[in-house]
Each structure stands twice: as C-alpha cells, then as structure tokens.
Structure 1
Amino acid sequence: MTAAGAGTDRARSSWSNLLRTWRELDVPEGWRAEIGDGRIQLIPPPPMGHHVIVGEVRRSLYGNLPDALGVHQTLSVHVASLGRLYVPHLVVMPTALVDAADPEVNNPMDAADALLVAEITSQGNARDDRTKKYRAYARAGVPVYLLIDRFDTRGPMSTVFTEPNEDGTYKRSDAVPFGKPLALPGPFDVTLDTEAFPT
C-alpha cells in the first residue's frame, strides 16, 4: 500500500469513527453537534432572533415551493469528501429522499442532494459560516447558499450565493442589508422580506 493510500484509509477510518460517535451522542435539547476539522463541536441553542428569521424564511419558501421539496430545520447534511457534517438552520431537500431515510437511524443527508442551505450567523460562529461552510456547500454543489449574517462588518446583511464551483466558491452572489428585499432563484422564485429580520 502506498503512503497516499494509507493516508486515505486513515482518513476514512477517522471519518467513520467520528460519524459513529456523532450518532451516539446524547446532545442536550436545542444544541447541535457538527463535525469539522477532525473533531465534533457542540453548538449551543441560538438566540431568539434566529427563530424569528428562520420562521420568516420558511414562510417565504413554502409560499412557492414545489410539492416534491420540503423545508427542514436541523436536518444534518454531510460533505464526506471534506470530512464535514453540518446542521444548518434550514435545508431544502427532495421529500422523497427524506422519506426514504431510515427513521430509526440518525444518518446525515448528502449535502449534494440539497437545493438550498441557509445559515444564520451567531457572534461565535460567523467566520465559519462565511468561510468553511461556504466552501463546503460550494464543493458539495449546493445550488443556493443563503447566508444571513447579523454580524457583517457592513451591518446586518443577507446574501444569496449561486452557481457553485468545484473549487469551493460560488460564481454569483447578491447581498442586501436587512430591510431590503432579496430574490431567491428558481425553483423557489420568491423574494425574502428581510425587513422582518431582527438585528
């Protein structure tokens, strides 16, 4: 076995061990467990403002969503090629895939199957949402990444990233300050009213 092959086997084994441990965790209610950088990280419950924003985005998405798609909160998604597992605030996923999953097993969904992922920054994780998660979702080919960043240096901003590249970037982005409308592309074809987002 070559050194590269041994390294790949070790990485696979490490990912399998992390995923097994993640499945067995007894996470306190409201907390989320994510995998990144070779470790499991516990994320505390979000502040009330997150719930208001999630509710507004959910309402907007359901207004025009095809029946074959569902909007899910705290649905875990993984980017196995990067050894990452995240629990976004919202994920739009084909209903058939979620329905086909074993209801008794805590398996993450493949991020490549998501049509939209939304993250809302907290003060402690804003950098990860802007960099690591941005790159991971782009590498996975998630068509739409919605970043609602209450801690942007320009002031609270909502940004929709589209046209993912395999290099971990998105070709297009549209950013608006809170209070301005933000259009989401098809199959959503809705405009988010960010005026209702608390700062």
Structure 2
Amino acid sequence: MTAAMVENDQASEGRPWDYLLQTWRELDVPEGWRAEIDEGRIVLVPPFQAYHHAIAGQVQRRLYENLPEEWGIYQVLSVHAAPLGKLYVPHLVVMPTALITAADPESNDPMDASEALLIVEITSKGNAREDRTKKYRAYARAGVPMYLLIDRFDTRGAMATLFTEPNEDGTYKRSDPVPFGKPLTLPEPFGTTLLTDEFPV
C-alpha cells in the first residue's frame, strides 16, 4: 500500500465515511492500481502480480464447478463495510448476480460486503498482515459467511485457510488451514475441493 490521500480532519465538518466515499468515487487511479478505504484514509494498492492472477484463476475455475446460477464470481469488485469505515477490493467475491445486474451502470459504487457469500484474498509480501488482521476482522464483522485467505507468506509456510461462522466481534468461529499441496474442501453451495498443489509457491 502507499500513502494516505485523505485525512480525517478534512472530513470534520460532515460525516467522514460519506466524505471518504465521495472522494474515492472521484479518484483517478493509475491503471491496474486499486483504491481502498481503511482507518479513515484512502490508500492505493499496487497492481496484482502474475501469481495473484494464476491463483485467482484456479480458484475461480473450481468455484464455478457446482455454483448455482444465482451466484456469480467477480474479480476486483469493490465491497464496503460502511459501519466500520472500510472499503476493500478483494481478488474474488462471490455475490448474487441479481445485485450486480441491478447496479447502476453509470456508478462505480461499491457493493455491500454483507451480501457476499465468499471473499478471497491472496496475500502479497507487503500486505499480508492487513489480509490476516484488518480484512479478516472487517469481513467477519460484516457477516461474510466465508473468507478464504491464500497466504504464500505465512510463517508456517504457504497456507490456504477457509474461515467460516463469522462473529459480530470480528472473528470467525471456525478455521480450516491447509498447507499448499493439500486439498481444501469448500462447503455447499460450492461442494468442491481446491487443489492447492496447483498454486504457485
């Protein structure tokens, strides 16, 4: 991530979230970069590296095997947890297709994270901590039923962890971590197994 672009005191006259969101909408972000809102700031996230695309493509292919038609899988879709003042752009989001098709085509407004069935984040060396902590807590607080964290930089070695059963306190009751090379079973409606030995290390 790079430096903050908007500070809290600039929004002191009104509601900080509304100010940040409006500023986010109007940003001219360099091609390939993503703008996110966290801790009362707008930050720029660098473009994905090749391994992000390789893993995301493999995961997306597996998820679509049994996924009902009313769900879609979207890459770099902006999602927000407005009560928490967070807006992230995950690698993959499973969201009802009806919500996506009903969205205003002239707007770039984020989708409500609480509507997501699954969110997938793939760590980079520079942002792994945020994915493990801030985004983990935000997705749990938003009530996202499943959070898949694919972490090549875990201190235990490269790991894929599925978190389920979110709590309002910002934690998940269950976690299922597997090292790269071991299969990871995803529950219904996916009903599929990720073959993590296909992931680049």
Q: TM-score, normalised by structure 1?
A: 0.94
Query: Counterpart amino acid of 1:49?
Result: Y
Query: Among residues 125, 132, 135, which one is paired with 1:133 in the alignment?
Result: 135
Structure 1 or 2: more helix by fraction: 1
User: Which stretches of structure 1, 4 residues or longer, exceed 6 Å deviation after superposition?
Assistant: none
Q: Distance in 2 between matches of 1:59 and 1:79?
A: 27
Superposed, 1:112-191 pairs within 5 Å as 112-191=114-193
Query: Counterpart amino acid of 2:64?
Result: Y
**Cα distance, 1:64–1:12 mapped onto 2, change above 3 Å:** farther
Per-residue CA shift, 1:12-33, capped at 9, x if unaligned? 7111111011001111111111
Q: Distance in 2 between matches of 1:32 and 1:152?
A: 24
Query: Counterpart amino acid of 1:118?
Result: V
Aligned length: 191
Counterpart check, 1:48 vs 2:38? no
Q: TM-score, normalised by structure 2?
A: 0.93
**C-alpha RMSD over aligned residues:** 1.3
Q: Distance in 2 between matches of 1:13 and 1:115?
A: 29
**Cα distance, 1:56–1:11 mapped onto 2, change above 3 Å:** farther
Per-residue CA shift, 1:70-123, capped at 9, x if unaligned? 000010000011000000000000000111110110100000000000000001
Q: Distance in 2 between matches of 1:160 and 1:86?
A: 19
Per-residue CA shift, 1:32-62, capped at 9, x if unaligned? 1100000001000121111000000000011
Report the secondary structure of 2:154's partner residue: coil
Q: Any gaps of 5 or more consecutive residues in structure 1?
A: 1-8
